[in-house]
Amino acid sequence: MVSTLIRITGDWSLAEDCTADAFEKAIARWPVDGVPDNPGAWLTTVAKNKALDRLRRAANEARKLEQVAIMNELEVDDVELTDDRLRLIFTCCHPALPLEARVALTLRTVAGLTTPEIASAFLVPEPTMAQRLVRAQKKIKNAGIPYRVPSIDLLPERLGGVLAVLYLLFNEGYTAVSRVDLAEEAIRLTRVLLQLMPGEPEVQGLLALELLQHSRRRARLVDGELVPLEEQDRSLWDQALVDEGLSLLRSGGRYQTQAAIAAVHARDDGDYSELVALYDRLGGGAVVALNRAVAIGMADGPEAGLAAIEALPASDYYLVPAARADFLRRLGRDAEAAEQYRLALAVVKTDPERRYLARRLAEVEG
């Protein structure tokens, strides 16, 4: 509804205000008059009329009058609603907006979260978040950021930008502690995007990746403790999510490849032979290179894994000593493992990771 009004009026704050007004009116009227047959259409009409009214009052220039004339002719159907939501997602994720504003705007406008909810999810004060949203809306208006789905030649790049925002949101959900489950919100939004762009392999890939990772959420963190994949209680995996994730696998780009990697772990059949080739397809970067080395260890044993880590170009990626320590531990080289666990503990990022490493260190020191 907000998205339709934005398209019609081109004014984000006007669209939000009028939508809010329509809901207020519904709260006042429906208990008295009864709920209308098509509540969605009722609300959209009320909001549209409200916007029309405001524009008419403000219409002291020809341009605005023109807009009023156009609005009168607009009837909204389902196809248009779909298109409007898609436009909204692409606009919220426009690369000319700062990344944190893209994430916030998507949650506010597409997912319909409140400003306090978004603020608490990202652990920032509410006025800061409100200001971030207002600035982004102002930039959309003042800089002429278009309210449309990008043209075919721009689409792959810009779709990549939208998927990056959704994936960032999903990953925030791993760490953020708040009322709103960002991971579930990200999955919901990815589902919406897939509905709007059915059959798009990279959208399917992102949804598959999210579902496969999310299926392990209850096994991954138990009583605040991080449980590594090999020690997770398989019965806690959400099999429905695994099945749905697996059903979305296609051949395709980066997200499909990452989903294929997640699928190898979800199948859990001890066959890791595909893993290394999948990481090769992802290419570049210290994180991928380390994961590739760990995959070699899973496929060919800890000795091979350790050799693969030693062959990596030097990097200060904080998980390198932790991975080295795990292979050394498996090889029974406890003293060397302990040394690496201590190095890892010095650079660890999160508390659950710290506790995991400390537990392992105690084991090899034992």
Partner 1 sequence: MTRYIMFVCVDGDPDTDPSPEPDIEKWVADNDASGKRVGGDRLAGPSDATMVRLRDGKTLVTDGPFTEGKEFIVGYDLLECDSMDEAIAIAAAHPMARGGRIEVRASWPMELDLS
> Least Å distance between CB 152 and partner 1?
13
Q: How far is the CB of 174 from partner 1 (least distance, A)?
A: 33
**Least Å from the CB of residue 56 to partner 1:** 13
| Residues at the interface with partner 1 (CB under 8 A) | 58, 60-61, 64, 94, 96, 142-146, 148, 150, 154
| Least distance (Å) between residue 83 CB and partner 1 | 17
Smallest separation, CB 261 to partner 1 (Å): 31
Smallest distance, partner 1 to C-beta of residue 75, A:
25
Quote the least distance from Cβ 160 to partner 1, whole Å: 15
Q: How far apart are CA 47 and CA 2, in angstroms?
A: 9
Nearer to partner 1, 148 or 359 (CB): 148
Q: Which is nearer to partner 1, 78 or 153 (CB)?
A: 153
225 strand-pairing partners? 222
Cα distances (Å, whole numbers) of residue 247 to 131, 208, 259, 277: 41, 8, 11, 21
Q: 101 or 261, CB closer to partner 1?
A: 101
Whichever of 138 and 349 has its CB closer to partner 1, that residue is: 138
Q: Is the dihedral of CA 308, 217, 185, 212 positive or negative?
A: positive
**By C-beta, is 41 or 154 nearer to partner 1?**
154
Q: Which is nearer to partner 1, 10 or 112 (CB)?
A: 10
Nearer of residues 96 and 222 to partner 1, judged by Cβ? 96
Q: In whole angstroms, how far apart are CA 198 and each of 190, 195, 203? A: 11, 5, 8
Q: What is the dihedral sign for C-alpha 111, 117, 123, 124?
A: positive
Q: Please name the amino acid found at residue 153.
A: D
Could you give the CA distance from residue 356 to residue 326 in angstroms, rounded to a whole number?
11
Question: What is the token pair recorded at 253?
Answer: 């780009």
Give the shortest CB-60-to-partner 1 separation in angstroms: 7
Whichever of 33 and 153 has its CB closer to partner 1, that residue is 153
Tally Cβ neighbours within 10 Å of residue 29: 14
